[in-house]
Amino acid sequence: MSTGRILVVDDEPQIRRVLRTTLSAQGYEVFDARTGEDALLAIRHQRFDLVLLDMNMPGMGGLATCREIRAGSDAAVIMLTVRNAELDKVTALDAGADDYITKPFGIPELTARIRAALRRMPAARGSEAEVIRLDGIEVDLQTRRVRRAGKETRLTPKEFDLLHYLIANPRTPISHAKLLQAVWGPDYGDQVEYLRVFINQLRKKIEPDSAHPRYLLTEPWIGYRFEPPAS
The domain boundary, picked from 118, 147, 180, lies at 118
What's the CA gap between 105 and 40, in Å, rounded? 25
The answer, yes or no, to whether residue 79 has pLDDT greater than 60, is yes
CB within 8 Å of 111: residues ≥ 6 apart: 2, 23, 26
pLDDT confidence of residue 23: 95
% of the chain with per-residue pLDDT over 90:
67
Has residue 22 been placed in a domain? yes
The CATH number of whichever domain residue 198 belongs to comes to: 1.10.10.10
93 & 136 share domain:
no
Find all residues with CB under 8 Å of 175, minimum gap 6, and list them: 222, 223
Burial 1-26 (b: 16+ CB within 10 A, else e): eeebebbbbbbeeebbeebbeebeee
Q: Which region among 93-102, 128-137, 178-187 has the lowest average model confidence (pLDDT)?
A: 128-137
Question: Is the pLDDT confidence value at 223 over 60?
Answer: yes
Q: What is the pLDDT of residue 120?
A: 80
**Domain at 81, CATH number:** 3.40.50.2300
- Residue 124, in any domain of the structure: no
Give the model confidence (pLDDT) of 151-181 as tens digits: 899 898 899 999 999 999 999 999 999 999 9
Domain ranges, residue 186 = 131-226
Q: Examine the domain organization and report whether 52 and 149 are in the same domain.
A: no
Residue-level length of the chain: 231
pLDDT of residue 62: 93
Where does the pLDDT of residue 127 fall: very low under 50, low under 70, confident under 90, or very high at 90 and above?
very low
> In this predicted model, what pLDDT tens digit does every residue of 94-107 receive, in sequence order?
999 999 998 888 99
